[in-house]
Structure 1
Amino acid sequence: MTASSSIGTPEQLRDPNYTPPLGVAVPLGIQHVLAMFVANVTPAIIVCGAAGIGFGSDQGALGFPDMTYMIQMSMLFAGIATLFQTIGFGPVGARLPIVQGTSFAFIPVMIPAVAGAGTAGLAGLLTGVFIGGIFHFLLGTVIGKIRFALPPLVTGLIVLMIGLALVRVGIQYAAGGVPLMGTENFGTLSKWTPALVVIAVTLAIKFFARGFAAVAAVLIGIIAGYLVALAMGQVSFAPMDRAGWFTVPSPFHWGFRFDWAIVIGMCFMAVVSAIETVGDTSGITKGGAGREATDKEIQGATFADGLGTALAGVFGGLPNTSFSQNVGLVAMTGVMSRHVVTFGALFLILCGLVPKVGAFINTVPINVLGGGVIVMFGMVCASGISMLSDVHWNRRNMVIFAVALSVSLGLQLEPSALQHLPRTAQILLTSGLLPAALIAVVLNLLLPEHLTEESTEEVSGGLAGQKG
């Protein structure tokens, strides 16, 4: 759906405070929800899977009731956090059409926090989300002052590392789960078939369709894969039978447990999420209104990010951040109205209060979801590479990137290298994100910009500058 003169004048469409006619505003709002829906609920499914919730059936149906509850909270608090952005109160909220949703960026830190014996579990994780959200909120007071320390070299590397940390999960899910589930059918053709259908349909829609279909390509692909899995007998509707029609969120659903490793990890990732929100806020104003975001808008967006995350943590949801795919949707439709996104937020809240919706999502086989996340996690990697394309690739920056990538990716691939460190240090370092960020930030700040001529020579590829 695209904007037309019947919706409003060009000046009105660039005005965040303008409300199009309801017959247009409501469908546009739901379009925003559909564009982010799969990405919003996927982190809850992955985290619950890592915690050992909901994978008892060889059919691959996701679990019940804990996973259904977290899926509900993902929808509910994505909607509430979006209202913080679009409506706002006091200094909270950018008053722009920013859609909030559950963040992929935190997954590499969250998985080791809940996976295996001796971890803090969901109680420790959600407590960390709550405290990290408060820290994120406080970042709103200084966000403008720390941007200098996070140029594209640093942020691009971090986003790339997030994607690299997730791609293994995508392959495992597409093959039928994770090997520790003990399923005999792991990696069989019957498991891979629906996942491959998802990938094929997603690519076909993305490249050959136009408008909203291209934006919702992953969602359409998952629907196609779901129908194939249903025909193959891989879908169980048991969660639907047991789910009610309405539920009230309960505070600290899994309890309250403080864990230093999780808290530090959540606070560190809050910085990354805050910088992402700055970029998305700027993208909204540039794409929709042709102007730069104001300091007040950036600060308000960061406050809303943090408050939404803190509230989600209290009631069993995962960290929230602004969704970049919806930034592109604003540019595509040409409708800058924040009230359009408000309608979408209300739809998300309604879905989050109805367990039947979460239970239906719970019927999606894990291999079908795997096909979708292979595409989504690959796009995270591609986004990081795109950000790195803005880097001035001289030898100084090459060395910074090389050292940070080698250490962080190496620790991610071989976590046992740090087995003698305290558990807190292991969780923080083996995700790869913290060492990548620390090395890149420190070297970028310490190494002088103006080095010797040899050190700043442009690198054209390969072993540039080296003779045989």
Structure 2
Amino acid sequence: MANTSIGTPEQLRDPNYTPPLSKAVPLGIQHVLAMFVSNVTPAIIICGAAGFGFGSNSPDFPQMIYMIQMSMFFAGVATLIQTIGLGPAGARLPIVQGTSFAFIPIMIPLVAGKGVDAMAVLMGGVIVGGLFHTILGLFIGRIRFALPPLVTGLVVTMIGLALVKVGIQYAAGGVPAIGKPEYGSLINWTMALIVIFVTLGLKFYARGMLSVSAVLIGLIVGYIFAFVIGEVNLGNVGRAAPFALPNPLHFGVEFSVAAIIGFCLMSFVSAVETVGDVSGITKGGAGREATDKEIEGATYADGIGTAISGLFGALPNTSFSQNVGLIAMTGVMSRHVVTIGAIFLILAGLIPKIGAIISSIPIEVLGGGVIVMFGMVASAGISMLSDVDWNRRNMVIFAISLSLGLGLQLEPGALQHLPSTIKVLATSGILPAAAIAIVLNLILPEELSDEATEEVSGGMAGHGKGSLQKDDHV
């Protein structure tokens, strides 16, 4: 519900309206709190996968602090491009940018166990993928026909399913091969479950800021518990510098065919997600459809923000859906409110001690948070799939895409004889599933849509759009 003490209803729907600073600053901080954990988590996961994210005694551990720092800094920079604009880039809407989860399943195989040296290949992919994403802004509206809810819902669901294993490993104590001997112990799971239970409690029984920041508060409570039982090492906080600027080409740049193809293909998914977020903001905050100029500007900003991030050692950026919901909840459409939040992110990114504190979070505590977050990613995909008309044609497309995509991810050894580049792309799970779904959706005749579904569903025929019948009381 809109707060009329901030401005008139007309002002609140105007992206160019600036609320009084006494109201705008807390609203901007609220946007930062809503996205903070999701923004820094991908950096921790990728560093951990590379092998220098665990253990403060590792000589490469400061690199994780730097990547966390850059995640905050360039999320702020990319958000400023969206809210203030940079030439044709930027929707000039209250869009919050942050590090994308979508690319994680593509990035993990590229860096797995290879240490800091693998980051150069990753950054090459981020830069080229960002530039390709920028080009998509020229014709994003014309390719949406190839990405209906059947395809986008499948891809988002696959992203969540690809990541849930990481959440369980973290909650149990880290990746087994490099984790602690007490992997899966009761104390490890206790730390993770505290985060989950606190998050659920706040999400369902609290209101306002407490509900919006449920995951963040859950992590703080889990962190305090871990500190009390002696599981937190703050040694790196004291050693971290009080101030540091971004370092160009910090990890270097190396161009790999597998990385470039993977990042460019995932840019399609990220671009479509951004189109959906822009539409959600204009509908929820202003009660209107997004203009072509706004959608194109947002896509340009996505790509430019990602390319710049890669030059300084950060990961791909995209619009954050949780902040879209926050705008609908507060009723404040002001882009200047989000600009204030972006400034806070940039300032946080200039203080390595903040990154050091974040990096001191025990992996088990973080595991509790990411189990919730990754589960929500999968849930979002399933929600998108509810818009699909589950006839025989769509069921076959979904079945084949999911079976091959998820199957190859679970059993990468099945492709051991393929060239390494193709193997990395195919075993990501997401790319083969997306490619198969797009191709089948384009080539299979629509005539199949009117035929019965019993022969492929064991008698569980769909009940029209959204599949199963819904109880009106649910």
Distance 2:213 2:454 in 1: 40
Structure 2 residue aligned with 1:45: 44
Alignment: residue pair count = 462
TM-score scaled to structure 2, two decimals? 0.95
Identity between Structure 1 and Structure 2 (%): 70
Distance 2:151 2:449 in 1: 22
Q: Deviations over 1:141-194 (max 9, x none)?
A: 010110000000000000000000000000000111110114111110111111
Unaligned runs of 5+ in 1: none
Q: Provide the TM-score with structure 1 as the length reference.
A: 0.96
Kept after mapping to 2: 8 A contact 1:72/1:353:
yes
Distance change (3 Å), C-alpha of 1:93 and 1:209 = same
Distance 1:181 1:188 in 2: 15
Question: 2:408, 2:369 → 1: CA distance?
Answer: 27
**What corresponds to 1:413 in structure 2?**
410
Hey, what's the Cα distance between the residues in 2 that align with 1:419 and 1:117? 19
- 1:321 counterpart SS class: strand
Structure 2 residue 78 is matched with structure 1 residue 81? yes
Alignment of 1:93-132 (within 5 A): 93-117=90-114, 121-132=118-129
Instruction: Give the partner amino acid of 1:143.
Output: I
C-alpha distance in 1, partners of 2:246/2:354? 15
In structure 2, distance between residues paired with 1:309 and 1:77: 9
Cα distance, 1:464 vs. partner?
A: 3.4
1:11 counterpart SS class: helix
Tell me the amino acid that sits aligned with residue 339 of structure 1: H
State how far apart, in whole Å, the 1-side matches of 2:223 and 2:377 are: 23
Cα deviation for residue 57 of structure 1 reads 5.5
Q: Determine the C-alpha separation between the residues in 2 that align with 1:355 and 1:301.
A: 30
Question: Structure 1, residues 404-453: CA drift from partner, whole Å, max 9, x if none?
Answer: 00000100100000011011011101011111111100110001112374
**Which deviations, in whole Å up to 9, do the C-alpha atoms of 1:7-27 show, x marking residues without a partner?**
100000000000000000011
Cα offsets for 1:177-221 (capped at 9, x unmatched)? 110114111110111111000000000001101112111110111
1:94-129 deviation digits (Å, cap 9, x = unpaired): 000000000000000000000135997111001110
Matched residue type, 2:223? Y
* Greater mean deviation of Cα atoms: 63-72 or 29-38: 63-72
Give the letter for the 2:123 counterpart.
L
In structure 2, relative to structure 1, the CA distance for the partners of 1:318 and 1:70 (3 Å cut) is: same
Q: Aligned pair in 2 of structure 1 residues 17, 174: CA closer, same or farther (>3 Å)?
A: same
Deviation at 1:89, TM superposition (A): 2.3
Structure 1's consecutive aligned runs of 4 or more residues displaced over 2 angstroms after TM superposition are 61-64, 116-120, 450-455, 457-466
Query: Aligned partners of 1:408, 1:255: CA distance in 2, in Å?
Result: 32
Matching residue of 1:252: 249
* 3-state DSSP of counterpart to 2:7: coil
Taking the TM superposition and a 5 Å limit, the aligned residue runs for 1:172-187 are 172-187=169-184
**Structure 1 residues 62 and 32: alpha-carbon distance in aligned structure 2, compared to 1, 3 A threshold:** farther
Q: Distance in 2 between matches of 1:197 and 1:139?
A: 43
Asked if the contact 2:65–2:359 (Cα under 8 Å) also holds between the matched residues in 1, the reply is yes
Following superposition of structure 1 onto structure 2, how do residues 202-241 of structure 1 map, counting pairs within 5 Å?
202-241=199-238
Name structure 2 gaps, 5 residues minimum: 463-474
Alignment partner, residue 21 of structure 1: 20
Which residue in the other structure is 1:365 paired with?
A: 362
Alignment equivalent of 2:350, drawn from 324, 348, 353? 353
| Structure 1 residue 324 corresponds to structure 2 residue 292 | no
Contact 2:392 2:456 in 1 (8 A): no
After superposition, what is the alpha-carbon deviation per residue over 1:59-97, rounded to whole angstroms, capped at 9, x for unaligned?
xx9973100000000000000000000000221100000
Q: Structure 2 CA distance, aligned partners of 1:105 and 1:451?
A: 32
Aligned partner letter, 1:191: N
CA distance in 2, matches of 1:276, 1:22: 31
* Residue 9 of structure 2: aligned partner: 10
Q: Tell me what 1:170 maps to.
A: 167
Give the distance between the partners of 2:61 and 2:421, measured in 1 at CA.
30
Structure 1 position 463 matched with structure 2 position 463? no
